[in-house]
């Protein structure tokens, strides 16, 4: 994969290690802990991303101490494929079985890229996952996702944990509402909910308690740790303790950007994941009041997720681990809240593919910086390797972002995404989407029209240039 940033890889590694030795405490330069926080369905709807009405103080504080990436894009607008890219640093399967397919190939003796936790484990780290880190919460297969003979990521974790509590099993936890309610027929489960009670009445509350126990256990050992914690909300259904929605009940929300359904051919869909829940006979595309209720409950779930992030950071500080821990907060993809008349993910529009990425590493020279360069999820694995002083696996498709950390700004690059029968490339100006039959969408982000007008016919040279990027990175055609 000969990307521009890829050609910086050798220089990046050398610059990062040398600069890291100059700026990081000696113990960090040798063995930094890693805390990877994966948040489900989190669009950049946060205070630190300029959304003033959204209450996310803990994530905002993390951004104030680290680097916030303004243009981070995931590889796929669906959980399993996006997490495959994060956890392997490679472009790969485009559906939710991507990691299980990798596990099957590994069992069959076929070559597979190393996973990020297996790489850190091989290099002396204790690796632990809690919650939804891979596609299945807890990381196991089987009908209820708790069959210990079917690991989603073999040889990766010393411990992989999902306390299901009253939700009985990981499958029940995944789509649970308050006090153990499990999704059966989605038509009978409310699309949003807010019930009085502590954080533990919803699934994230009990998994975060386990994550806090793990931080304490790991802090008592001499080996560095790689702890990955998956936070479920704001995944559907939108349920959070009632106190998190109170700040949003009376506020005026900004208008939904470009809410009209596209009239040209796109990756638009009918929001089936959202529409299958009980909506009390209401449609947010035709009912502005209901649309705002949905948006308020989404915001409440974001604030609930933010509170869980705060607990993790506080525990690191309490145990004296903060100054020796690299923290990454990553959203597994975006989510439409009515843009293009979509309520969900699963498109190749900006709203599905852009997600938060915040990296906070001890000793960073420039804290609280906003990074404008286009980056992608496959870059996170090599970045963490370099920050921790580990070699970068040859198989990764991403490139380390460490030069950016040390003010060595890299040339503009592109982010690749794919889903079903189309693939996309985003650079600093354009998004190109190529369908399997050759049909092209091109959107100009320097234009006020953005992704509401297909300008492919007006920029044939850019279409050709970006199609060539897709060929080189994905090997298509």
| Domain span including residue 451 | 421-477
> Sign (positive/negative) of CA torsion 38, 43, 47, 49?
positive
What's the whole-number mean pLDDT along residues 238-244? 98
Task: Report how far apart, in Å, the C-alpha atoms of 246 and of each of 60, 196, 253, 305, 398 are.
Answer: 20, 11, 14, 15, 41
Half-sphere CA count of 448, side-chain side, radius 13 A: 0
The closest alpha carbon to 259, from 288, 289, 221, 234, belongs to 288
Per annotation, catalytic residue among 79, 301, 360, 385: 79
**∠413-416-420 over CA atoms, to 5°?**
170
* 15 part of the active site: no
- pTM for this entry: 0.93
The closest alpha carbon to 38, from 272, 327, 241, belongs to 327
pLDDT given at position 411? 60
- If asked whether residues 453 and 317 sit together in one domain, one would say no
| Cα(314)–Cα(320) distance, integer angstroms | 10
pLDDT given at position 410? 65
What's the structural domain count of the chain?
Answer: 2
Count other Cβ atoms within 10 Å, centred on residue 33: 24
Per annotation, catalytic residue among 135, 169, 333, 340: 135
| Cα(349)–Cα(435) distance, integer angstroms | 13
- If asked whether residues 142 and 277 sit together in one domain, one would say yes
Percent over 90 (pLDDT), the chain? 89
- If asked whether residues 477 and 459 sit together in one domain, one would say yes
Q: Which two tokens stand for residue 175?
A: 């789509």
pLDDT bracket for residue 6 (50, 70, 90): very low
Tens of pLDDT, residue by residue over 104-141, are 999 999 999 999 999 999 999 999 999 999 999 999 99
- If asked whether residues 310 and 443 sit together in one domain, one would say no
Helices (H), 320-393: 350-353, 380-388
3-state secondary structure of 277: coil
pLDDT given at position 93? 84
Q: Which of 420, 445, 461 is the last residue of a domain?
A: 420
User: Is the per-residue pLDDT at 23 higher than 80?
Assistant: no
From 52-56, 449-453, 473-477, the region with the lowest mean pLDDT: 473-477
- The label of the residue with tokens 């063995």 reads 31
User: Is the per-residue pLDDT at 11 higher than 70?
Assistant: no
Q: Which of 420, 435, 469 is the last residue of a domain?
A: 420
- If asked whether residues 310 and 198 sit together in one domain, one would say yes
Render 158-216 in DSSP notation, one character per residue.
SEEE---GGG-SHHHHHT-BGGGB--SSGGGSBSEEEESS-GGGSHHHHHHHHHHHHHH
pLDDT given at position 365? 52
* 71 part of the active site: no
| Cα(405)–Cα(73) distance, integer angstroms | 18
- If asked whether residues 172 and 253 sit together in one domain, one would say yes
- If asked whether residues 375 and 388 sit together in one domain, one would say yes
Q: Which of 398, 420, 442 is the last residue of a domain?
A: 420
Half-sphere CA count of 39, side-chain side, radius 13 A: 27
pLDDT given at position 9? 41
- If asked whether residues 249 and 354 sit together in one domain, one would say yes
| Cα(304)–Cα(8) distance, integer angstroms | 39
Q: What are phi and psi of 74, to 5 degrees?
A: -85, 165
CATH number assigned to the domain comprising residue 215: 3.40.720.10
3-state secondary structure of 269: coil
Cβ partners under 8 Å of residue 192, min gap 6:
237, 238, 239, 293, 294, 297
The closest alpha carbon to 378, from 161, 83, 173, 11, belongs to 83
- If asked whether residues 248 and 349 sit together in one domain, one would say yes
Plot region of 137 (φ>0 → left; ψ -120 to 50 → alpha; else → beta): beta
User: Is the per-residue pLDDT at 2 higher than 80?
Assistant: no
- If asked whether residues 427 and 348 sit together in one domain, one would say no
End-to-end CA distance of the chain: 15
- If asked whether residues 392 and 293 sit together in one domain, one would say yes
- If asked whether residues 438 and 412 sit together in one domain, one would say no
| Cα(189)–Cα(199) distance, integer angstroms | 20
């Amino acid at each position: 994969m000969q990307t521009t940033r890829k050609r910086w890889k050798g220089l990046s590694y050398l610059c990062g290690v040398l600069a890291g030795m100059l700026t990081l405490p000696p113990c960090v330069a040798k063995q930094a802990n890693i805390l990877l926080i994966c948040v489900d369905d989190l669009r950049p709807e946060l205070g630190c991303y300029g959304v003033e009405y959204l209450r996310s103080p803990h994530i905002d504080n993390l951004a104030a101490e680290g680097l916030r990436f303004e243009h981070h894009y995931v590889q796929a607008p669906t959980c399993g494929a996006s997490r495959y890219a994060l956890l392997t640093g490679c472009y790969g399967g485009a559906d939710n079985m991507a990691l299980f397919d990798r596990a099957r190939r590994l069992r069959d003796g076929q070559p597979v890229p190393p996973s990020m936790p297996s790489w850190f484990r091989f290099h002396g780290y204790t690796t632990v996952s809690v919650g939804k880190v891979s596609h299945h919460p807890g990381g196991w297969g089987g009908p209820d996702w708790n069959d210990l003979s079917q690991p989603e990521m073999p040889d990766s974790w010393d411990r992989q944990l999902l306390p299901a509590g009253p939700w009985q099993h990981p499958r029940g936890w995944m789509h649970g509402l308050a006090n153990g309610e499990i999704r059966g027929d989605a038509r009978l489960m409310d699309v949003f909910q807010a019930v009085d009670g502590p954080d533990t009445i919803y699934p994230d509350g009990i998994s975060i308690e386990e994550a806090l126990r793990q931080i304490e256990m790991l802090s008592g050992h001499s080996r560095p740790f790689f702890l990955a914690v998956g936070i479920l909300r704001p995944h559907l259904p939108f349920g959070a303790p009632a106190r998190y929605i109170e700040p949003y009940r009376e506020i005026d929300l900004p208008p939904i950007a470009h809410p009209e359904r596209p009239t040209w051919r796109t990756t638009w869909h009918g929001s089936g994941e959202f529409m299958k829940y009980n909506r009390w006979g209401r449609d947010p595309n035709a009912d502005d009041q209901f649309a705002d209720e949905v948006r308020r409950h989404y915001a409440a779930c974001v604030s609930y997720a933010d509170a869980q992030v705060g607990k993790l950071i506080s525990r690191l500080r309490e145990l004296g681990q903060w100054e020796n821990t690299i923290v990454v907060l990553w959203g597994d993809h975006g989510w439409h809240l009515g843009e293009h008349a979509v309520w969900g993910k699963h498109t190749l529009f900006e709203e599905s593919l852009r997600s938060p990425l915040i990296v906070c590493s001890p000793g960073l020279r420039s804290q609280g910086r906003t990074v404008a360069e286009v980056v992608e999820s496959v870059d996170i694995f090599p970045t963490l390797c370099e920050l921790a002083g580990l070699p970068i696996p040859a198989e990764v498709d991403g490139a380390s972002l460490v030069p950016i950390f040390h003010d060595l700004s890299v040339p503009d690059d592109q982010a690749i995404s794919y889903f079903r029968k189309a693939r996309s490339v985003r650079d600093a100006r354009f998004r190109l989407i190529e369908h399997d039959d050759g049909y092209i969408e091109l959107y100009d982000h320097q234009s006020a029209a953005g992704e509401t007008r297909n300008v492919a016919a007006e920029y044939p040279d850019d279409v050709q240039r970006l199609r060539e990027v897709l060929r080189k990175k994905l090997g298509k055609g």
